[in-house]
A and B are shown apart, each in its own frame.
Chain A
Amino acid sequence: VAVVANRRKEAVVALSLILPFVFVLSLVFLYPIGKLIYLSFTNASLIGGNGEWVGLDNFKRVLSDRLFLTSLKNNGYFVLLTVIPTTIIALVIALMVVRLRKSLQALILAFFFLPYILPVSVVTQIWTWMLDFQFGILQPAISLIAGKPVAVFRNPYWVMPVVASVTIWWTNGFNVLLFIAGLRNIPKDYYEAAGLDGASRWQLFGKITWPLLWPVTALVLTLQFIMQLKIFDQIYLLSNGGPFNSSYVLLLMVYREAFQLDKGGYASAVALILFVMIAAFSILQFQLLKARGQ
């Protein structure tokens, strides 16, 4: 009897410990998820009522909405421009930094990592200045490529690659850090043994570093993939979807439909599609982590 009473007491105490988090979780996460699913089947406006049930109409409309297809294509293009380049750049930087003496390493790492902890609007303002059509310090470099200065955020060909470059500059430090952690986890004696056998730098990289680093590389790739699918802030601040919708992305569509056109139901349908896409890739990433036994 005492055991049962103890169990019950323990459960009560445990419940009081989890209650604050569970309350917030239900209020601002679980309930909004449920509501998102519900609204995506209605024609609700943003504020003022739940609208009427319209079944699958929103989804049918989405699939034939040219703006949606443009956004989807641009999201894909952005992922292509960021994910693999940032992974390669981060790996190269990590390989360079990890060779340095400890004290120097911290300093140089700070140079590469610092942009990552800046607010996005700070990043976009700095780059707007660097790339200013008239006075930007990078315009001479752009003139070399294009033959003349380019207003990059108002040019349909330049806008996405430039936003992608800014994003890589901003977030790359995170990936560098993961690669450095991965590199430090490779036992030193592997290299020493191979070094005695007279292996070259490239052989060491190909035979030891790359295979042992592959799990971290896979992690970086999937994390980046998920993160870059959620692109909104930089686009909104740098080009606002333009010119001619050439940088229009899914989250921008959700924002415009909901907050500017007051179409809560339709925006929810788009958001739900994005939600499902990201959740699917997150599950993949989770499986990758689990496969590594963590």
Chain B
Amino acid sequence: MGRHIKKIENAILTLITFISATIWIFPLYWAFITSIRSEERVVSSDAGLWPDEFNFAAYTHVFYNTKIIIWYINSIGTALIITFLVIVTGMMCAYAISQMRFPARRLLYGVILGCFMVPSQALIVTQFILMSDMGLVNSWAGIILPQLVVPVVIIVYKQFFDAVPKEMREAVVLDSGGDYTLLFKIYLPLNWGITAALAIITFISAWNQFFWPFLIATTEDKMTIPVGITQVKDVFGIAYARVMASALLAAMPVAVAYLIFQRKVTQAVMISSGIKG
């Protein structure tokens, strides 16, 4: 008897879970359905919840009438450069802190931990002044530079490097290989998994940055895609099929990256927030 009731309870709970998940994803579904309808259909009162039109006019319109391709290039370019530099500089710095002895090592690590607590949004005013002084307003370099400080990458790498046995380094250094060889030939290959995970979330978060690129990119041809698509709305008025098409185009690369690397993303999110999943 008790077991029977438990089974029914379980089935109901699973059903509720499915319904909640469907409701949660519905806005994305609705955005997609809207984007493949004609503008007239979108606002007509008999348009139902189901896909009834496969009209890609909104997408072609966005491609031909906005600078979306330039925004794509800006986003891909800046996000890749940010990811590469954050990973390489972070790895080098973490290796030195973890494995080597040098003056002010503890102080440096303390400063990095401290940076963790600094809200970068509070620095926009003086970062903007700095970029302006260096003549980098409205340039890729201006978009990239302030995004290169990601202390959590160093903190995570340090944990992983700390776990590599110290004897390894001594053996190799005695064999006259330098620390650079050691880092890139041994420590990095040993930690490909975490490197990939950190690279993916660094890329996603660089792609998704809004506030800073929005401030520093002052003309349309320097905007990244999340900033650019906010211009589309102003141009189109309430042409929602087009607005949804541009929004989905902006989201696609990161959504695809997430769906392919789901486990890596999950792992990186957990590790970088201090929970070992």
Interface residue? B197 (CB, 8 A):
no
A194 within 8 A of B: no
Give Cα distance in the complex from A259 to B132, angstroms. 13
Encoded as 1 (CB less than 8 Å from any B CB) or 0, chain A from 2 to 21 comes to 00000100110111011011
Interface centre among A120, A125, A251 (most CB of B within 10 A): A125
Judge whether A10 and B102 touch: CB under 8 Å. yes
SS class of chain B's interface: helix, strand, loop or mixed? helix
Residue A129 is within 8 A (CB to CB) of chain B in the complex:
yes
Q: Are A114 and B274 in contact (CB under 8 A)?
A: no
* Interface bin, chain A: 35 or more
**Are B126 and A32 in contact, with the CB atoms below 8 A?**
yes
- In the complex, how many angstroms separate the beta carbon of B48 from the nearest chain A beta carbon? 11
B254-A129 in contact (CB<8A):
no
> B66 interface residue, CB < 8 Å from A?
no
Interface residues on B, range: 35 or more
Pair B130/A28 contact, Cβ less than 8 Å: yes
Interchain CB contact under 8 A, B262 and A106: yes
Contacts A13-B179, A46-B125 known; A237 to B92 CB distance under 8 Å? no
Q: Does B93 touch A at the CB level, under 8 Å? A: yes
A264 touches B243 (CB 8 A): no
Question: A283 to B254, Cβ gap below 8 A?
Answer: no
Q: Would you call B43 and A283 a contact (CB within 8 A)?
A: no
Of B96, B112, B121, B247, which is within 8 A of A17 by CB?
B96
Query: Which listed residue, A29, A109, A110, A121, touches B115 by the CB 8 Å rule?
Result: A29
Q: A129 touching B243 by the CB < 8 A rule?
A: yes
Q: Which residues in A have their C-beta under 8 angstroms from that of B178?
A: 13
Is B240 interfacial (CB-CB < 8 Å)? yes
Tell me if B27 and A127 are in contact (CB < 8 A): yes
Kindly list chain B residues whose C-beta atoms are within 8 Å of the C-beta of A36.
Answer: 122-123, 125-126
Give the residues from 121 to 136 in chain B that come closer than 8 angstroms, CB to CB, to chain A: 121-130, 132
- Tell whether, in the assembled complex, residue B132 and residue A119 are in contact, meaning their CB atoms are under 8 Å apart: no
User: Chain B contacts of A72 at CB under 8 A?
Assistant: none
Contact yes or no, A15 B102, CB < 8 A: yes
Q: Is the CB of A115 within 8 A of B28?
A: yes
- Set of chain B residues within 8 Å of A73, measured between Cβ atoms: none
Cα–Cα distance between A11 and B100 once the two chains are bound (Å): 8
Closest to B122 in A: A275
Which of B124, B211, B275: most chain A Cβ within 10 A? B275
Q: Are B247 and A33 in contact (CB under 8 A)?
A: no
Given the complex, which residues of B lie within 8 Å of A25, measured CB to CB?
111-112, 115, 149
CB distance from B215 to the nearest CB of A (A): 7
A30 to B107, CA, bound (A): 14
Interface centre among B116, B125, B262, B276 (most CB of A within 10 A): B125
A residues 204-230 in Cβ contact with B at 8 Å: 216, 219, 223, 226, 229-230
- B238 interface residue (CB < 8 Å to A): yes
Contact (Cβ within 8 A) B262 A29: no
B65 near A: Cβ within 8 Å?
A: no
Q: Which of A246-264 contact B (CB under 8 A)?
A: 251, 254-255, 258-259, 264
Q: Quick check: is B21 within 8 A (CB to CB) of the other chain?
A: yes
Are B24 and A169 in touch, CB under 8 angstroms?
yes
Instruction: Check if A130 is an interface residue, CB within 8 A of chain B.
Output: yes
Q: What is B's interface to A at a CB cutoff of 8 Å?
A: 9-10, 13-14, 16-18, 20-22, 24-25, 27-28, 30-31, 34, 42-43, 88-90, 92-93, 95-97, 100-103, 105, 108, 111-113, 115-130, 132, 145-146, 148-149, 154, 178-180, 183, 204, 207-208, 210-211, 215, 225-227, 229-230, 233, 238, 240, 243-244, 246-248, 250-251, 254-255, 257-259, 262, 265-266, 269-270, 273-277
The 3 closest A-B pairs by CB, nearest first: A282-B117, A119-B226, A14-B102
In the complex, 5 of the A-B residue pairs with CB atoms within 8 angstroms, ordered by the A residue number, are A100-B14, A125-B243, A126-B244, A233-B211, A275-B122
